[in-house]
Amino acid sequence: MAASAPSVRVAKEEKKLVLENFLWGLFNGITAWPLLVLHVFTIWDKYPVYNVVRDSGWYQFGFLIGAGSPIAGILTGNRIPSLRRH
Q: Note the pLDDT of residue 64.
A: 92
Q: Note the pLDDT of residue 65.
A: 92
pLDDT in tens, the chain (86 residues): 455 667 778 778 888 889 999 999 999 998 888 888 888 888 877 777 888 888 889 999 999 999 888 777 666 666 556 555 55
pTM of this structure: 0.68
Cα angle for residues 80, 83, 86 (degrees, 5° grid): 115
Q: Which residues of 28-62 are buried (b: 16+ CB within 10 A; e: fewer)?
A: bbbebeebeeeeeeeeeeeeebeeeebeeebbbeb
